[in-house]
Structure 1
Amino acid sequence: MKSVLLATALAAFASLSVPALAAAPAAAPVVAAPGPADWRTPDPNDVLVIDTNKGRILVELVPEVAPQFVSRVRELAHAHFYDGLTFFRVIDEFMAQTGDPQNNGQGGSDKPDLPAEFFFRRGADGPFVPAGDQGSSELGFIKSLPVMSQSMMLAPMTRDGMVQAWALYCPGVAGAARADNPNSANSQFFLMRAKYPRLERNYTGFARVIAGQEVVRAIKTGEPVADPQDRMERVRLLADLPPAERPTIKVIDPNGPWFKAELARVRAREGAGFSACDVNIPSEVK
């Protein structure tokens, strides 16, 4: 299996331009601390607990967006497939790649490759929480994952009454690695160290880090990493941890009043340069 990020993507990364200076945005309003109604408890079957030599990373799986790859990750975690695998390709201000038993980007599991899930269908009654209307498209969140979709105004014109949507590649978002063939995702995945919108609609986004992003940022860099020592020591679903070892996790609910106020604050601060990647989704882990 070839390494996840193609040469064209890396060339684009190297040639990103600096945006023009804009007028200073208005002062952002102060937002009070979140209250009890602002938090949600993620499904323990949707939380991947990655214990690394640098610390613990908690990743929230989002099956609503990429059901097949989420199912594959759950299956491989149950089988302890990921235990001991290194972060073999790590690019600062980009991503950290892992999930290959060969630890070089060329391998995968003995399971069949999966079809691309670059897009998903979004209905009016789905879990999408709108965060901004951009005319022909809508910005929002599904759980902790930022997403973009076509406007729901188009839904009456589609056969299934739904519109097309896709994950946004913000820091902490997890994507499925693949070769040149779009339908070649298998076991490898990567965790974003920075935002990288050029991956959107080209790689399956399936999850997001909800705690431990500082661990992702601490992983040794290299392309490939020289003598990679940083590794996933154990990878389990939260539901599979013994009760005595299972942390209690709360994540800010994008449906709650605190998030809506925080969204308004960030929009005021960023002005015309606002991005979904500017919005923080706090968590509490005990």
Structure 2
Amino acid sequence: MIRTAFVAAAILAMAAPAAAAPAKGKAAPAPVAPPAAPGDPKASDWRTPNPEDVLVIDTSKGRIFVEMVPEVAPAHVARVREVARSGVYDGRKFFRVIDQFMAQTGDPADNGTGGTDKPDLAQEFLFRRGPQTPMVLAADQAVSQVGFLKSLPVMSQSAMLMAMTADGKISAWPLYCPGVAGMARGEDENSANSQFFFMRQAYPSLEKRYTAWGRVIAGLETVRAIKVGEPPADPQDTMDKVRVLADIPAAERPSVRVIDPNSAWFKAEIESVRAAKGADFTACAIRIPSEVK
């Protein structure tokens, strides 16, 4: 039956070439140009992140701004914020840095064996996405959907399944694109404590295996400049000071804004990247502009 259907369609196609061909003397229609990359964002395309959810990390290589996303990992965001405010992160070394992969830090022992005296955290590999979850869709793949929750790229089951679940929600998880911040752990899935890492490049195999809690919105070039090694040769690069943006005195507090995924600029960026990448389209290729003053 499959072969018959195919052959029949081929015969119909062969029978109608004259009708499909352009009339004599008439030029064929010009190909449609792909969407151009968007220009500079307008004032309405930006958003100001919650200063309680932004980490300002001064390192030996420069400054890093991280937007924490409590919607995907509330306990881990609370822990990172708490440890930052305690001063434990100040002076911590980047003790494990692998090129084309990630830079790890946040260990009071500076060697990957330590943690704080706080209890280890239960994993938050997945989160529940409901109709009110502020995810902006970038691609609908029928059985799954890809989008952005603030600056964080995420994937979820199809929204059509919401009507079939007891809580009206579906499973979703962050994508490990460049700049994404994840929590380090031991063999036990529930052993994350204070150590974390920043992705230098995309690494999908970490998805649904390590809790992601935010993303670098400014300073990815700093992350990629951190000295490589397991451990790096001394002197190792360090996080000299880690602060929550809201805690920095107003007179010296940086002004931070980042592109709004609900904006016209961002929608144009998605379409431009989709046209350029075709079958290779990925959320990791979509730009997330930011501005720090």
**What is the TM-score when the length of structure 2 is the normalising length?**
0.88
Matching residue within 194, 211, 225 for 1:218? 225
For 2:129, the equivalent position in structure 1 comes to 122
When residues 271 and 259 of structure 1 are mapped into structure 2, their CA distance, relative to the original with a 3 A threshold, is same
Matching residue within 157, 167, 171 for 2:178? 171
Matching residue within 210, 214, 226 for 1:207? 214
Q: How does 1:226-241 map to 2 (within 5 A)?
A: 226-241=233-248
For residue 277 of structure 2, give the secondary structure of its aligned residue in structure 1: helix
**Aligned pair 1:90/2:86, yes or no?**
no
For 2:117, the equivalent position in structure 1 comes to 110
Shift of 1:174: 0.2
Shift of 1:28: 4.7
Shift of 1:191: 0.1
For 2:12, the equivalent position in structure 1 comes to none
Question: In 2, are the aligned partners of 1:53 and 1:231 still within 8 Å (CA)?
Answer: yes
Q: For 1:210 and 1:53, how far apart are their aligned partners in 2?
A: 18
Question: In 2, are the aligned partners of 1:88 and 1:228 still within 8 Å (CA)?
Answer: no
Q: For 1:96 and 1:283, how far apart are their aligned partners in 2?
A: 22
4+ aligned runs moved over 4 Å, structure 1 = none
For 2:52, the equivalent position in structure 1 comes to 45
List per-residue Cα deviations over 1:203-225 (Å, max 9, x = no partner). Answer: 00000000000000000000222
Q: For 2:268 and 2:193, how far apart are their aligned partners in 1?
A: 39
For residue 92 of structure 2, give the secondary structure of its aligned residue in structure 1: coil
Q: For 2:35 and 2:262, how far apart are their aligned partners in 1?
A: 21
For residue 221 of structure 2, give the secondary structure of its aligned residue in structure 1: helix
For residue 255 of structure 1, give the secondary structure of its aligned residue in structure 2: coil
- Counterpart residue type for residue 97 of structure 1: Q
For 1:19, the equivalent position in structure 2 comes to none
Q: For 1:151 and 1:83, how far apart are their aligned partners in 2?
A: 42
Shift of 1:32: 2.7
Q: For 1:66 and 1:226, how far apart are their aligned partners in 2?
A: 33
Question: In 2, are the aligned partners of 1:60 and 1:210 still within 8 Å (CA)?
Answer: yes
Q: For 2:292 and 2:133, how far apart are their aligned partners in 1?
A: 27
Give the fraction of aligned pairs with identical amino acids, expressed as a percent.
65
For residue 100 of structure 2, give the secondary structure of its aligned residue in structure 1: coil
For residue 268 of structure 2, give the secondary structure of its aligned residue in structure 1: helix
Shift of 1:234: 0.3
**Aligned pair 1:35/2:42, yes or no?**
yes
For 2:256, the equivalent position in structure 1 comes to 249
Shift of 1:111: 0.3
For 2:271, the equivalent position in structure 1 comes to 264
Of stretches 227-236 and 62-71 in structure 1, the one that deviates more from structure 2 is 227-236
Matching residue within 182, 185, 195 for 2:192? 185
Q: For 2:134 and 2:87, how far apart are their aligned partners in 1?
A: 31
For residue 182 of structure 1, give the secondary structure of its aligned residue in structure 2: coil
Q: For 1:44 and 1:267, how far apart are their aligned partners in 2?
A: 32
Q: CA RMSD of the aligned region, Å? A: 0.9
Question: In 2, are the aligned partners of 1:220 and 1:228 still within 8 Å (CA)?
Answer: no
Q: For 1:141 and 1:198, how far apart are their aligned partners in 2?
A: 19
List per-residue Cα deviations over 1:84-117 (Å, max 9, x = no partner). Answer: 0000000000000000011110000110000000
Of stretches 26-35 and 58-67 in structure 1, the one that deviates more from structure 2 is 26-35
Shift of 1:226: 2.6
Shift of 1:34: 1.0
List per-residue Cα deviations over 1:153-195 (Å, max 9, x = no partner). Answer: 0011111000000000000000000001000010000000000
Q: For 1:249 and 1:102, how far apart are their aligned partners in 2?
A: 32
Q: For 2:274 and 2:151, how far apart are their aligned partners in 1?
A: 18
Q: Which runs of 5+ in 1 are unaligned?
A: 1-25
Q: Which runs of 5+ in 2 are unaligned?
A: 1-32
For residue 70 of structure 2, give the secondary structure of its aligned residue in structure 1: coil
Q: For 2:39 and 2:226, how far apart are their aligned partners in 1?
A: 34
